[in-house]
Amino acid sequence: MTTILQITDTHIVGEGRLVSGQLETAGALTRLVDRLKSIRHQIGPVDAVIVSGDLSDDGSKESYARFKALLAPLDLPTFVIPGNHDARDPLRGAFADHLPIAGPLNWVRKIGDVSLVGLDSLVEGHGHGTLSSETLAFLRDALVKADGSAVLLALHHPPFSSGISFMDAIGLTNAQDLRDLVSGYKGELRIVCGHIHSMMVCTFGGHTAISAPSPCSTFAYDNREDSPVGFLTQDDGCLLHRWDAGFQTIRIGPEAGSGPFPF
């Protein structure tokens, strides 16, 4: 069995700062890390963590150093991809152990029986995402090499519409290019992403695509064209992806309820 934890959209900033004057994001991540540590004996061994973008809110070196310190108590191999709030070069410097020294931040790692593929959809200075021709070629090659084995494919921007108009306006611009690539893959492939700060599950190119919640905030599911633009100050959790002759995804909430009580 292979187990990969997905955390996304932590939006860490420097000490003493609040995101948008409202969110103390380091506290939210600390609470999630504490929760994960408390249930490690329940969920069993975890092989790696994938962080699917927006580690930082401002792309600063300080924020990445703080993120790494906050996640360190999990003591797990950690792999990252950029989101629209990240800055490519500071992120590259903070995670030089697995990110390429130049170009898009694309990578592949074999984690147990799963090929974990990270794609760079960042368009610096903009909220929307695009998979460059170089990134699409990278994915094409990675899928050929995976040769029908299990693939967990991570990118920040969802390749599907969320129904939240102000988020879809800064979505993935060339989702069809990604659909064309993954639809030809005959093995088990799961797409995981972040960006929309909530869990949604869709079929995409014949495979399952799932967005993960954010530990620090969420967006209301409001599909009116004139829906209010902004976030809700609500802690949420993360996702656990397990491979055992098939994929299973489990949401882990930010806190445990009372119990268990006998039926």
The owner of tokens 């906050």 is 70
* Cβ contact 91:53 at 8 Å: no
Percent pLDDT > 70 in the chain is 100
Residues in the chain: 263
How far from 36 is each of 69, 243, 254, 256, CA to CA, in Å?
16, 19, 9, 11
Task: Write the pLDDT tens digit of every residue in 201-250.
Answer: 999 999 999 999 999 988 888 888 888 888 888 889 999 999 999 999 99
Amino acid at 39: I
3-state SS assignment for residue 93: helix
Q: What is the pLDDT of residue 163?
A: 93
Residue 40: closest CA among 83, 6, 5: 5
Q: What is the number of other CB atoms lying within 10 angstroms of the CB of residue 33?
A: 18
Amino acid at 161: S
User: DSSP character for 209?
Assistant: E
CA distance 236 to 251: 10
CA distance 86 to 55: 7
Tokens found for residue 108: 């592949």
* Cβ contact 140:177 at 8 Å: no
Q: What is the pLDDT of residue 231?
A: 85
Task: Write the pLDDT tens digit of every residue in 94-150.
Answer: 999 999 999 999 999 999 999 999 999 999 999 999 999 999 999 999 999 999 999
Over 90: is that where the pLDDT of 10 sits?
yes
Burial bucket for residue 74 (CB in 10 Å: 0-12, 13-18, 19+)? middle
Q: What is the pLDDT of residue 43?
A: 93
CA distance 159 to 177: 10
Task: Write the pLDDT tens digit of every residue in 44-75.
Answer: 999 999 999 999 999 999 999 999 999 999 99
Identify the band that residue 27 occupies on the pLDDT scale cut at 50, 70 and 90.
Answer: very high
Q: What is the number of other CB atoms lying within 10 angstroms of the CB of residue 121?
A: 30
> Is the Cα dihedral 25, 14, 21, 83 positive or negative?
negative
Look at strands 114-118 and 150-154 and give their pairing: parallel
Amino acid at 116: L
Over 90: is that where the pLDDT of 18 sits?
no
CA distance 3 to 261: 28
Identify the band that residue 88 occupies on the pLDDT scale cut at 50, 70 and 90.
Answer: very high
CA distance 79 to 190: 17
Q: Where does 2-252 sit in CATH, by number?
A: 3.60.21.10
Residue 32: closest CA among 54, 13, 7, 69: 7
Domain ranges of the chain: 2-252
